[in-house]
């Protein structure tokens, strides 16, 4: 009977999902007009210029959102040009963000395991040392191979690639200052802004990428700092702090707020902070950085309580400014063509990613929503599908987030605090990795799975995982939420043994009934 009830819920959930998709894809007359204008603009004439022939789609920016949009547009038969100012594709994510940071996280984790865990597994070395230049070379090789790979995809899909800084001179023309000199005007019926984001600066702090660094500089340090201070306890700050902490730096994280990663589920966040503290990462929460002085041999920070009070000083060899990111929209000529932006510079778009200016669209970090590479990719595909006369869809409530420390923390859906705020009766199911066979077998069992489900229907509302490889485990939960699954649906799905994913099954059992192994 339970299985039949679960099947009935799945069918109902599928119908609800279709309804939700249709609702999301339905638009007002204004939205329809935006799309219709974009599709019928092919008959519009252009002034002559020294640039390329007319394009169906021009993408400004070759990051995860931009290059994916360009490839998808070409796959849909649209003549496409992508403009990228770096001269290498992949944007911040591939060049100085997601990819190089994950390379260093993996390399530093290998070193940390060699020095802290290998002996207990019967693997012993007379000595272990860090070869930082070799570590950086491996990171650079990964980046180089991937950027060349995207260029190969452009050639395969016949995407025209223009290397240079693009800015609007009209809603259908982009002036490009080429990397190798000269200028080109690229014309397009539909132009997508996908220029991503930049490091958020702090008043009175000058980033020199040597002793006061952004995430870019933190990925290219020439030596391991004895003392590293990280300003900001978000994803990037904790990941980069982990890299250098594993390699031997004394890491102190200074955060204005009262918690690390404030968007994270509160219970999981507390466990996560304790895990990082076990790794000797220090935290100074509710603390404001008043000034940073790098005039001497080291760097001296002046701090005070966030609520005001007595000032103190903190010394470091390197300071990482990791206070967030801001949309990169300045210098694009948006004001010249009348594109509306909000007070923080994000471009205002409708449900079809169209701006208020005919034929101009925007995706990724330059519009509201989580500043994540995978969100930008989804934006890019959906935007191009709309331009091509198809239907696109991005559910921003189901964009997973991952912190790639060790253990990793991954989540999708609502936190317990958010569920309480909307007033829904709910149940919580939890399962510790200390009771998971695979985690115990590999001696890496710190973490937990936490599931939140609506009490009346058992529909899953949110899933939060702290564990090794949580970023891989979370996608079963993403798919479950996407199809409106119940916790019983996951609990009654056979999971291979022994695997880490069994912890998710057990947490689901704990949500609607009782787990077996605890």
Catalytically active residues, by annotation:
497
Report which of 390, 392, 391, 384 is spatially closest to residue 72, judged by C-alpha positions.
Answer: 384
C-alpha 305/C-alpha 470 separation (Å) is 34
Place of tokens 């939140």: 452
Q: What DSSP letter does each residue of 131-185 carry, written as one string?
A: -HHHHHHHHHHHHHHHHHHHHHHHHHHT-EEEEEEEEEEETTEEEEEETTSSEEE
**How far apart, in Å, do the first and last CA atoms of the chain sit?**
25
Helices (H) and strands (E) in the chain, counts: 16, 21
* Token pair recorded at residue 434: 């200390």
* Token pair recorded at residue 402: 């991952």
Q: How many CB atoms lie within 10 A of CB 163?
A: 18
Place of tokens 């998808």: 72
Per-residue CA distances from 329 to 150, 152, 341, 365 (Å)? 24, 28, 9, 10
C-alpha 252/C-alpha 231 separation (Å) is 9
Q: How many CB atoms lie within 10 A of CB 488?
A: 22
Place of tokens 């964009």: 399
Per-residue CA distances from 333 to 7, 48, 169, 171, 301 (Å)? 54, 20, 7, 10, 38
Cα dihedral 232→233→234→239 (10° resolution): 100
């Amino acid at each position: 009977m339970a299985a039949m009830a679960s099947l009935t819920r799945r069918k109902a959930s599928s119908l609800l999902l279709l309804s939700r998709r249709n609702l999301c894809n339905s638009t007002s007359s204004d939205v329809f007009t935006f799309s219709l204008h974009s599709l019928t603009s092919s008959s519009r004439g252009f002034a002559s210029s020294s640039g390329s022939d007319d394009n169906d789609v021009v993408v400004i920016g070759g990051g995860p959102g931009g290059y994916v949009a360009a490839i998808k547009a070409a796959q849909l038969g649209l003549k496409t040009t992508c403009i990228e100012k770096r001269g290498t594709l992949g944007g911040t994510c591939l060049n100085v963000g997601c990819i190089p940071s994950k390379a260093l996280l993996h390399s530093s984790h290998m070193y940390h395991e060699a020095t802290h865990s290998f002996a207990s597994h019967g693997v012993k070395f007379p000595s272990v040392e860090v070869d930082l230049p070799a570590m950086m070379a491996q990171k650079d090789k990964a980046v180089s191979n991937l950027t060349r790979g995207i260029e190969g995809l452009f050639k395969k899909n016949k995407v025209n690639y223009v290397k240079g800084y693009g800015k609007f001179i009209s809603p259908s023309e982009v002036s490009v200052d080429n990397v190798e000199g000269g200028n080109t005007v690229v014309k397009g019926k539909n132009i997508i802004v996908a220029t991503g984001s930049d490091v958020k600066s702090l008043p009175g702090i000058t980033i020199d990428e040597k002793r006061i660094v952004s995430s870019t500089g933190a990925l290219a340090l020439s030596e391991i700092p004895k003392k590293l201070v990280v300003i900001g306890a978000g994803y990037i700050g904790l990941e980069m702090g982990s890299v250098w902490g594993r390699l031997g730096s004394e890491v102190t994280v200074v955060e204005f707020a009262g918690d690390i990663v404030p968007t994270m589920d509160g219970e999981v966040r507390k466990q996560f902070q304790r895990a990082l503290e076990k790794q000797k990462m220090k935290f100074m929460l509710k603390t404001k950085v008043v000034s940073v002085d790098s005039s001497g041999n080291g760097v001296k920070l002046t701090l005070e309580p966030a609520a005001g009070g007595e000032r103190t000083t903190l010394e470091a060899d390197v300071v990482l400014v990791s206070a967030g990111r801001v949309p990169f929209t300045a210098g694009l000529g948006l004001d010249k063509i009348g594109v509306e932006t909000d007070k923080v510079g994000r471009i205002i778009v409708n449900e079809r990613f169209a701006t208020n200016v005919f034929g101009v669209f925007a995706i990724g970090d330059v519009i509201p929503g989580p500043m994540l590479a995978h969100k930008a990719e989804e934006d890019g595909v959906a935007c191009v599908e709309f331009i091509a006369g198809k239907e696109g869809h991005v559910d921003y409530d189901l964009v997973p987030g991952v912190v790639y420390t060790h253990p990793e923390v991954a989540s999708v859906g609502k936190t317990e605090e958010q569920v309480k705020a909307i007033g829904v009766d709910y149940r919580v199911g939890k399962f510790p990795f200390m009771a998971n066979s695979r985690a115990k077998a590999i001696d890496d069992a710190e973490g937990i799975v936490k599931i939140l489900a609506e009490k009346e229907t058992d529909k899953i509302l949110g899933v939060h995982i702290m564990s090794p490889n949580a970023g891989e485990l979370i996608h079963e939960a993403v798919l479950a939420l996407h199809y409106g699954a119940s916790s019983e649906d996951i609990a009654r799905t056979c999971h291979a043994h022994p695997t880490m994913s069994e912890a998710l099954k057990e947490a689901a059992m704990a949500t609607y009934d009782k787990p077996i192994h605890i």
